[in-house]
Amino acid sequence: MVAIERQRSSSDLRVIAIDWSGAKSGARRKIWLAEARGGRDGGEPEIVRLECGRSRREMERHLLEEAEREPELIVGLDFAFSLPAWFLREHELTTARELWQLAAREAETWLERCEPPFWGRPGKRRPALPSHFRRTDADVPSVGGVRPKSPFQVTGAGSVGTGTLRGMPLLRRLSDADWRIWPFDAPDLPLVIEIYPRLLTRAVVKSSHKARDQYLAWRFPELTAVRRRLAASSEDAFDAAVSALELARHAEDILDLEQATDPVELLEGRIWLPGPSEAVLPEPSALGTAASSPLPALLSALEYAAEKHRDQRRRGPEASPYINHPISVARVLAEIGDVSDPILLQAAILHDTIEDTRTTPDELERSFGAEVRALVEEVTDDKSLPKKVRNQLQIEHAPGRSPRAKQLKIADKISNIADIIGRAPTDWTLERQREYLDWAERVVAGCRGANRALEECFDRKLREAREAVG
Ligand code: ZN
């Protein structure tokens, strides 16, 4: 509950962000440290160093020495500072600190055995658990379809479990050295907070060097070319650099943080979010490339939709991954309809996210802008209505739709009909298939005039499909 004395100006503060790694070998290459200074009072933040080369133990020593020298220090670390509260209760741990102590003894055994609740090693499937996530993991807004992974997952893409278990001993050491760990302790300096770099780097396509470079140029125009090149050089360097700069920008807010009072939060901790005053997510049109090249935005939509539909399958006999469908709709638009409009292509990739996944229109707007949102909403059925009504409304609303929505609808029906030919959902009778074709024909009748090539393709597919179902 104690806010730090306000006579400290944020410009005296040093801010360090660490892109952590739980890797058994090669951690020296993977753990990056970025230090930034400046921020709101002191003008634009700048990177004063950006480096890798320390092991986990060396990083621990380094931080302790740095704080010894100059304690006015905020450090952001990107692993989960605790585990879901039920786990602590089950082990009769009353504080996160006790968990760090336990992890300092047991982490290697947990990782090696990979018994439930831990999972992810070959043959160690996701177990049923009271909860896989801390409350804060679930509360963090999705960025480009990406959300925090479960701290119990110890291997696999983007998993954080290993870094978390091998990071807890560091928290214990810092805590022993009287560092404050937020939100468990009342903040004072030196202070450690849990960060989730995805929130700070926004929906940028991190695997693309060019996208990283352009993002840095857009978000931190003051960075020198040399710093920018280094920060863009790898995903880890990028995460560390962007995190440090964002922390420096928000240093004053961080100084105002309060200790948790909620019992669950006191056990589980909380991911630090930049203040609500500033949107967490991007202005996609400002992301440098959007105007000159539609590719980064399109790839970002693809990554987002793939993540959203990750657990869904098509209903055909092959049960192919659901994402194949939106990809095919976008391909039909581009290839047959000769569409190169990035808004329409992004919306095609995203067209089923609101209807069939837990994506909200606001989320889409934050990640892809208002036009994409509006277009996806235009082609989204109101799922609160019975199926029959929805189908009738699709027919009735089609003529009033925008030209983009009409093209998207036609491409959607082409893709669905192409699937029906030979690969109809296994539970669809021939009669059901015929009904679908009649209905699709009526929807497309209301979309005519939007794209001749698409309409002709639809007519062809419809004929073929009718021959196939007799
Ligand atoms: Zn569809």
Q: Got the DSSP string for 195-248?
A: --HHHHHTT--TT-HHHHHHHHHHH-TTS-HHHHHHHTSSHHHHHHHHHHHHHH
Domains of the chain from N-terminus onward: 1-282 (no CATH), 293-469 (1.10.3210.10)
Residue pLDDT tens, the chain, 470 long: 333 444 445 457 899 999 999 998 889 999 999 999 876 666 788 899 999 999 999 999 999 999 999 999 999 999 999 999 999 999 999 999 999 999 999 999 999 999 999 998 888 888 999 999 999 998 887 776 678 889 999 987 778 899 999 999 999 999 999 999 999 999 999 999 999 998 888 878 888 888 899 889 888 888 888 899 999 999 999 999 999 999 998 898 899 999 999 999 999 999 998 865 444 444 444 444 334 567 888 999 999 999 999 998 888 878 889 999 999 999 999 999 998 889 999 999 999 999 999 899 988 888 888 889 999 999 999 888 899 999 999 999 999 999 999 999 999 999 999 888 878 888 888 899 999 999 999 999 999 999 999 999 999 999 999 998 87
Q: Which amino acid is at 387?
A: K
Please, are residues 279 and 367 in contact by the beta-carbon 8 Å criterion?
A: no
Tell me the C-alpha to C-alpha distance, in Å, between residue 36 and each of 17, 149, 174, 179: 8, 27, 20, 19
Q: How far does residue 330's CA lie from ligand 1's centre (Å)?
A: 10
Q: Which amino acid is at 202?
A: R
Number of CB atoms found within 10 A of residue 457's CB:
20
User: Cα–chain-centroid distance for residue 414?
Assistant: 31
Helix 295-308 × helix 209-219 angle, to 10°: 110
Alpha-carbon distance of 262 to 88, in angstroms, equals: 15
Please, are residues 212 and 206 in contact by the beta-carbon 8 Å criterion?
A: yes
Q: How far does residue 421's CA lie from ligand 1's centre (Å)?
A: 16
Q: How far does residue 378's CA lie from ligand 1's centre (Å)?
A: 13
Number of CB atoms found within 10 A of residue 77's CB:
24
Please report where in the chains the tokens 């399958």 appear, as a residue: 313
Q: How far does residue 239's CA lie from ligand 1's centre (Å)?
A: 35
Active-site residues, by number, are: 355-356
